[in-house]
């Protein structure tokens, strides 16, 4: 604190740098996050790049889906920072109203045997804040371990006082403009939570037929299927017999000839004796069930819309706690809803009105927080009018003001927003932003429901006095006990986190954000609402681009779920974890005991030996290597593991030449002399070009693919191996020439490594920083080196060594290397280097300046003098076995294609796969034959 940016620039990496010695990870970890506090100040330069992290719920820990978001966003932030932008990447955490309250309620019940209602509201909120202060920082710890270069000085929690003031201000302004209103409407209701919930908290459980399910609060399970019965003289079907007490009409299709004579008539309810009108509506499916639909407006979304078209009344028969109401009659009043179902079916049977039951596929709405079956209930709630705001959100995309990436989400965006309904924003919870609306009670007034709103009770009282023309002292105000939907507050995140409604310097500089990057599952529940609220409240779109990535799934293609046991903590991938610890984590969680058993069994199957340590950089690189804009990636540790092998080559003594002070000191750019030098420089130029294009198009998988190919295969596998003899001073030329070749090779290697580290830095900040500080490619006048994270990102315009001809012709060299290594592997050679003989007339060390190799035809043959002890007969026998195995596979594949009517019966995809398999086997056999010839023709010593 108190340092200017110019002072911060001079802070350097001060640890002792001993060539070849690896520094401790703890020191490096602390160092990198000192940098995070110093170098990531957004007030350093003149170009701007800002984004906010999708605020994770405070309820728990991050999983690999969050890690994917962090890896992508951090790569973009570091890339822009290295390009000289002012980068502001803001961290935040969401209070997660329903999820957090549920966690704390279960904790209190488990530890103290008390429920929420045993406390006052104030006492319960103290318990929630205590839990948040104890557990809430775990997410930030995970983000730091992931290397996220966030601006921690601006970390934002959605229940912070400043953010809460912004939520209140947004509600007041939207109420004043008429966009928020209070009305009775049908909402998704969880009887277990006794609250309305949003669509994203509703999971659709697909049932194929008769299904027995457990329901919270009941000791026995219940069947879910279709039931048929008579209502009057009309046969109807339903999946919820208990709601028939709330039926107000029977609907039929106007063209259904079976019921032509019933148009405009009535039938009598079998239990209440009410007369139910028979109405005609084209929305009724004549082919489904009996073609007659009972209409229950207070308990079904479709029926509610139908009732509005026909001016039908609504009758609520299930209360918010899941208990049947007095409108059902004394025989059902006070009975739990699913117990009432059994009573209704029994009563129908007794009256001989029950016509049976039928298994049929159906979709059952389940509360993701409680596991309860959702009840559509008619409740008075606060709603946001969305039609006009959604129209503007669609228009923003159509006119190009808002870019959605990838583009195929645009159609989904338009379709959903064009058919949007009003948004219920009130929740019957205690944890959250209490709605700043007050019910007004006037002296000697009728019991009517009147509401006002205000930033405080005093302001609300003054508004009420003006509205009703009375003295403020004659008014009694009662604040609405409900809280706002979490998605309402998180929808304000891009501008509220910057100080809105005050016109702060942060808001002026960094709003609108440059981009929003998030999972495609949040396109409507968060992204669309941010766009609508941002444009309405600030007059601007909250960001210019939206980059969606697909969901991370497990190896079976399933979405991450705690109850499935497939949620993986990224720290467990980074540091590794035993199977026993994985099991403990499930037991320590808040799952239902039955779900815990299922989750633990799944873990035993998927991770019998736990998860091996992979490291932060390997995880980040693996996550970014997936085509995040396409199919949902399926991640598991064996997929991540290969990326932690990218660096050992440069941590071994064989590369000590890079760290020799006499070679670093005063090094000048050197023109690459040999063909190998020109090839690696050209490959580097091509790699930088691929990185530029990949970053600009946000296709990070193309960047990581290019870097992996260059670093591991071109630089480490080929170039470094080829120049080792040069670096050791081997060769038949003069000592002066060998010294010159050594200097040039070291310079080219130094150039390639330093540029590569800069390219890799956005993905692998830990290892690249360590190697960079050991390499010290650029130093200040005092001999110290600044962090890699503030070095310029490489550009092709700054690289002049591009040799397309050598790069294209190098395929022959690569083929020679590949065959030579294949021969060594087949012959089970030791690491001792065998003598090489050649049948061609030219000298072929990889590091030679002789470029004639590129002009030769592909007729070169290699002869490897094998070490003593190699059994030629055994090698021939092994090769023969391989040949027979390949021939057998090829025969089987060909037999599939020769069956009668193969072309007509087999689908195109299957035929194509089979043809590819045949081609692979044929090529494999040809490849084997060539290698077999090579192998058997070699001299056997």
pLDDT per residue as tens digits for the range 590-614: 666 777 787 788 778 888 888 888 8
Tell me the three state secondary structure of residue 475: strand
Q: CB within 8 A of 398, min separation 6: which ones?
A: 414
Looking at the fold, whether 673 and 796 belong to one and the same domain comes out as: yes
Residues 789 and 655 in one domain: yes
From 360, 377, 395, the end of a domain falls on 360
What phi and psi, each to the nearest 5 degrees, are found at residue 207? -110, 130
- Pairing mode, strands 156-157 and 92-93: parallel
The answer to whether residues 390 and 417 touch, using CB atoms and an 8 Å cutoff, is yes
864 beta partners: 836
787 shares its domain with 685? yes
Question: What is the four-CA torsion angle of 108, 111, 112, 114, rounded to 10 degrees?
Answer: 40
Strands 437-442 and 450-453: antiparallel
Does a structural domain hold residue 664?
Answer: yes
The backbone torsions φ and ψ at residue 89, rounded to the nearest 5 degrees and listed phi first, read -115, 110
Task: Report helix angle 409-418 to 387-398, nearest 10.
Answer: 160
By the 8 A CB rule, do 98 and 427 touch? Answer: yes
For residue 470, give its domain range: 441-477
Do 675 and 769 lie in one domain? The reply is: yes
Report the residue count for the chain: 941
**801 and 676: one domain?**
yes
Contact 578, 548 (CB under 8 A): no
* Residue pair 104/136 in contact by the 8 Å Cβ criterion: no
Is the Cβ–Cβ distance between 550 and 634 less than 8 Å?
A: no
The β-bridge relationship of strands 513-519 and 543-549 is: parallel
Which of 809, 827, 852 is at the close of a domain? Answer: 809
Question: Which pLDDT score is estimated for 852?
Answer: 34
Look at residue 734 and tell me if it is in a domain. Answer: yes
Residue 79 has what pLDDT? 96
Q: Across-strand partners of 251?
A: 279, 293
For residue 702, count CB atoms less than 10 angstroms from its CB and return exposed for 0-12, middle for 13-18, buried for 19 or more: middle
pLDDT tens figures, 432-458: 999 999 999 887 766 678 999 999 999
> Does residue 346 sit in the same domain as residue 229?
yes
pLDDT at position 850: 35
Q: Is residue 564 part of a domain?
A: no
pLDDT in the model for residue 390? 95
For 880, other C-beta atoms within 10 Å of its C-beta total 11
**Contact call for residues 40 and 86 (beta carbons, < 8 A):** no
Q: Are residues 445 and 337 part of one domain? A: no
3-class SS letters over 739-750: HHHHHHHHHHHH
Residues 6+ positions from 742 with CB-CB distance below 8 Å: 726, 727, 729
In whole angstroms, how large is the CA radius of gyration of the chain?
Answer: 35
Nearest to 774 by CA among 6, 206, 59, 28: 28
pLDDT in the model for residue 835: 52
3-state secondary structure of 632: coil
Spatial CB neighbours of 550, under 8 Å, sequence gap ≥ 6: 519, 520, 628, 629, 630, 631, 632, 633
Residue 666 shares a structural domain with residue 790? yes
Q: Contacts for 332-335 with beta carbons within 8 Å, 24 or more apart? A: 332/242, 332/245
Please classify residue 12 by burial: count the beta carbons closer than 10 Å to its beta carbon, then call 0-12 exposed, 13-18 middle and 19+ buried.
middle
Does 355 reside within a domain?
A: yes
Q: What is the pLDDT of residue 758?
A: 94
Q: What is the dihedral sign for C-alpha 210, 252, 312, 354?
A: negative
Residue 913 has a CB neighbour count (10 Å cut-off) of 12
The 8 Å CB, 24+ separation contacts for 779-788 are: 780/10, 780/12, 784/12, 784/13, 784/14, 785/12, 785/13, 786/9, 786/12, 786/13, 787/13, 787/35, 787/39, 788/757, 788/758, 788/761
- Give the global pTM: 0.81
- On whether residue 8 sits in a domain, the answer given is no
Closest to 129 (Cα-Cα) out of 58, 197, 64, 68: 58
Same domain, yes or no, for 345 and 449? Answer: no
Asked if residue 229 and residue 348 are part of one domain, the reply reads: yes
CA distance linking residue 381 with residue 391, whole number of Å? 24
Separation of alpha carbons 577 and 172, rounded Å: 49
Please tell me the distance from the alpha carbon of residue 170 to that of residue 174, in angstroms, as a whole number.
Answer: 6
Q: What CATH number corresponds to the domain at position 749?
A: 1.10.730.10
pLDDT at 924: 56
Residue 778's φ and ψ, nearest 5 degrees, are -130, 135
What token pair was written down for 435?
Answer: 């709605």
**Pairing status of strand 226-231 against strand 249-252:** unpaired
CA of residue 886 relative to chain centroid, distance: 42
Residues 309 and 450 occupy one common structural domain: no
Claim to verify: residue 687 and residue 784 sit in the same structural domain: yes
Is 335 inside any structural domain? Answer: yes
Strand partners, 184: 380
Burial class (CB in 10 A: 0-12, 13-18, 19+), 733: exposed
Domain closes at, from 429, 453, 477 = 477
| Residue showing tokens 């090094």 | 667
Phi, then psi, of 578 in degrees rounded to 5 = -80, 160
Residue 56, classed as helix, strand or coil, is coil
CA distance 390 to 44: 38
Strand pairing partners for 57? 94
pLDDT at 670: 62
Regions of the chain with pLDDT less than 70: 1-45, 222-226, 228, 230-233, 445-447, 556, 561-565, 590-592, 628-670, 672, 731-732, 776-785, 817, 826-870, 919-941
Pairing of strands 156-157, 362-367: unpaired
In angstroms, the CA 727 to CA 746 distance is 7
Q: Render the burial of 614-638: b for 16+ CB within 10 Å, e for the rest.
A: bbbbbbbbbbbbbebbeebbebbbe
The two structure tokens encoding residue 413: 């965006």
222-224/211-213 β-pairing: antiparallel
The verdict on residue 452 lying in a domain is yes
- Chain position carrying tokens 């979709």: 363
Q: What are the residues whose beta carbons fall under 8 Å from the beta carbon of 425, sequence distance 6 or more?
A: 180, 381, 382, 383, 384, 484, 485, 488
Report the C-alpha gap between 797 and 266 in whole angstroms.
82
Does residue 508 contact residue 556 with C-beta atoms inside 8 Å? no
HSE (side-chain half, CA atoms, 13 Å) at 938:
30
- Residue 674 and residue 849 in contact, taking contact as beta carbons nearer than 8 Å: yes
- For residues 478 and 910, give the distance between their C-alpha atoms in angstroms, rounded to a whole number: 68
CATH number of the domain encompassing residue 299: 3.90.740.10
Quote the number of domains for the chain.
3
Q: Is residue 249 part of a domain?
A: yes
User: DSSP letters along 280-314, please?
Assistant: E-TTS-TTSTTSEEEE-GGG-HHHHHHHHHTT---
């Amino acid at each position: 604190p108190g340092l200017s940016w110019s002072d911060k620039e001079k802070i350097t990496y001060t640890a002792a740098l001993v060539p070849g010695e690896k520094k401790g990870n703890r020191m490096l970890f602390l160092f990198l996050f000192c940098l995070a506090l110093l170098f990531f100040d957004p007030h350093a330069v003149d170009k701007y790049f800002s984004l906010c992290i999708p605020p994770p719920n405070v309820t728990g820990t991050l999983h690999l889906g969050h890690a994917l978001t962090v890896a992508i966003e951090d790569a973009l932030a570091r890339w822009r920072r290295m390009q000289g932008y002012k980068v502001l990447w803001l961290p935040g955490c969401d209070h997660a109203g329903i999820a957090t309250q549920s966690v704390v309620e279960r904790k209190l019940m488990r530890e103290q045997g008390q429920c929420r209602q045993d406390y006052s509201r104030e006492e319960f909120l103290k318990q929630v804040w205590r839990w948040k202060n104890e557990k809430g920082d775990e997410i930030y710890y995970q983000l730091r371990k992931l290397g996220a270069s966030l601006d921690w000085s601006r970390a934002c929690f959605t229940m912070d006082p400043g953010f809460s003031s912004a939520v209140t201000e947004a509600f007041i302004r939207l109420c004043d403009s008429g966009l928020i209103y209070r009305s009775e409407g049908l909402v998704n209701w969880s009887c277990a939570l006794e609250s309305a919930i949003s669509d994203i908290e509703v999971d659709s459980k697909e049932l194929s037929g008769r299904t027995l399910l457990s329901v919270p609060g009941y000791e026995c399970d219940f069947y879910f299927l279709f039931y048929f019965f008579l209502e009057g003289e009309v046969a109807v079907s339903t999946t919820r017999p208990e709601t028939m007490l709330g039926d107000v009409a029977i609907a039929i299709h106007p063209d259904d000839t079976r019921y032509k004579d019933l148009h405009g008539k009535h039938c009598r309810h079998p239990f209440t004796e009410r007369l139910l009108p028979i109405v005609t509506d084209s929305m009724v499916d004549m082919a489904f069930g009996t073609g007659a639909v009972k209409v229950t407006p207070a308990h079904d979304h479709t029926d509610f819309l139908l009732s509005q078209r026909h001016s039908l009344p609504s009758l609520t028969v299930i209360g918010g706690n899941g208990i049947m109401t007095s409108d059902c009659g004394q025989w059902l009043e006070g009975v739990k809803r699913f117990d009432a179902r059994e009573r209704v079916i029994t009563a129908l049977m007794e009256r001989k009105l029950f016509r049976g039951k039928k298994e049929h596929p159906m979709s059952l709405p389940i509360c993701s927080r409680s596991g309860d079956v959702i009840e559509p209930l008619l409740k008075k709630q606060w709603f946001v009018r969305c039609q006009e705001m959604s129209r503007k959100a669609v228009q923003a995309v159509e006119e190009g003001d808002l870019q959605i990436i990838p583009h195929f989400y645009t159609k989904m965006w338009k379709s959903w927003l064009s058919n949007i309904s009003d948004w219920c924003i009130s929740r019957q919870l205690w944890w959250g932003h209490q709605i700043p609306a007050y019910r007004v009670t006037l002296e000697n007034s009728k019991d009517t429901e009147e509401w006002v709103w205000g930033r405080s009770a005093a302001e609300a009282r003054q508004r009420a006095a003006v509205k009703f023309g009375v003295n403020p002292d004659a008014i009694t105000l009662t604040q609405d006990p409900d809280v706002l939907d979490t998605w309402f507050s998180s929808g304000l995140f891009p501008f509220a986190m910057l100080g809105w409604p005050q016109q702060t310097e942060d808001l002026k500089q960094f709003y609108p954000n440059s981009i929003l990057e998030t999972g495609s599952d949040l396109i409507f529940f968060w992204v669309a609402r941010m766009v609508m609220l941002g444009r309405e409240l600030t007059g601007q779109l909250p960001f210019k681009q939206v980059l969606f990535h697909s969901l991370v799934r497990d190896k079976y293609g399933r979405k991450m779920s705690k109850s499935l046991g497939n949620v993986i903590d990224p720290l467990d991938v980074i540091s590794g974890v035993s199977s026993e610890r994985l099991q403990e984590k499930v037991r320590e969680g808040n799952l239902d005991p039955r779900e815990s058993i299922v989750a633990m069994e799944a873990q035993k199957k998927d991770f019998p030996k736990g998860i091996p340590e992979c490291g932060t950089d390997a995880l980040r690189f693996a996550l970014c290597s997936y085509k995040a804009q396409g199919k949902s990636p399926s991640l598991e540790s064996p997929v991540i593991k290969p990326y932690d092998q990218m660096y050992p080559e440069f941590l071994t003594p064989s590369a000590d030449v890079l760290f020799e002070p006499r070679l670093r000191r005063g090094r000048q750019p050197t023109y690459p002399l040999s063909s190998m030098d020109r090839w690696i420089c050209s490959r580097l130029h091509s790699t930088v070009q691929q990185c530029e294009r990949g970053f600009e198009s946000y296709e990070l998988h193309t960047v990581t693919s290019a870097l992996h190919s260059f670093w591991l295969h071109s630089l480490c596998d080929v170039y470094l191996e080829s120049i080792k003899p040069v670096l050791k001073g081997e060769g038949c030329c003069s000592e002066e020439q060998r010294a010159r070749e050594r200097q040039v090779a070291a310079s080219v290697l130094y150039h390639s490594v330093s540029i590569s580290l800069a390219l890799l830095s956005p993905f692998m900040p830990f290892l690249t920083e360590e190697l960079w500080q050991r390499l010290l490619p650029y130093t200040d006048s005092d001999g110290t080196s600044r962090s890699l994270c503030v070095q310029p990102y490489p550009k092709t315009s700054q690289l002049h060594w591009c040799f397309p001809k050598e790069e294209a012709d190098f395929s022959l060299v690569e083929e020679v290397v590949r065959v030579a290594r294949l021969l060594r592997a087949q012959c089970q050679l030791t690491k001792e280097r065998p003598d090489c003989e050649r049948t061609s007339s030219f000298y072929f060390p990889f590091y030679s300046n002789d470029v004639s190799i590129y002009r030769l035809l592909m007729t070169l043959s290699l002869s490897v003098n094998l070490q003593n002890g190699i059994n030629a007969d055994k090698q021939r026998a092994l090769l023969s076995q391989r040949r027979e195995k390949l021939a057998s596979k090829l025969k089987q594949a060909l037999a599939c294609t020769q069956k009668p009517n193969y072309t007509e019966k087999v689908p195109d995809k299957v035929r194509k796969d089979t043809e590819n398999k045949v081609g692979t086997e044929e090529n494999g056999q040809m490849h084997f034959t060539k290698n077999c010839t090579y192998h058997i023709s070699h001299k056997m010593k």
